[in-house]
Amino acid sequence: MGPRRRRAPAQPAVDPETLAREAVDSMKLVGSDIASPRPSGDYVVGVPMWMRVNQSPTAYGPNTASATTGGVTVTATARSPR
């Protein structure tokens, strides 16, 4: 009989959901940056006004992050539909 082969120790199972949460948690996601048309901030109540939102990857995306454990990589992408 030949020499016995040792089995490599079993790798712990990687939970993709946990990796996805790690990836999302590492993203810097912030709310919308609303731009005021008047730098002074003085407005008249009841008068319609157009405002705009400054778009950035941290507010509208796409914002992508990855997490890797045990040879498994999960990539998460956040983006606003509009």
Distance (Å, whole) CA 33 – CA 65: 22
pLDDT category, 73, cuts 50, 70, 90? Answer: very high
Q: For residue 20, give both structure tokens.
A: 């996805």
Across 2-23, average pLDDT: 80
**Which of 22-26, 28-32, 39-43, 68-72 is the most confident on average?**
22-26
| b/e map 45-61, b = 16+ CB within 10 Å | eeeeeeeeeeeeeebbb
Model confidence pLDDT, tens digit, residues 43-60: 888 888 887 888 888 888
Q: What is the pLDDT of residue 9?
A: 63
| Secondary structure class of 45 (helix, strand, coil) | coil
Question: Which secondary structure element, helix H or strand E, spans residue 73, and what is its range?
Answer: strand 72-78
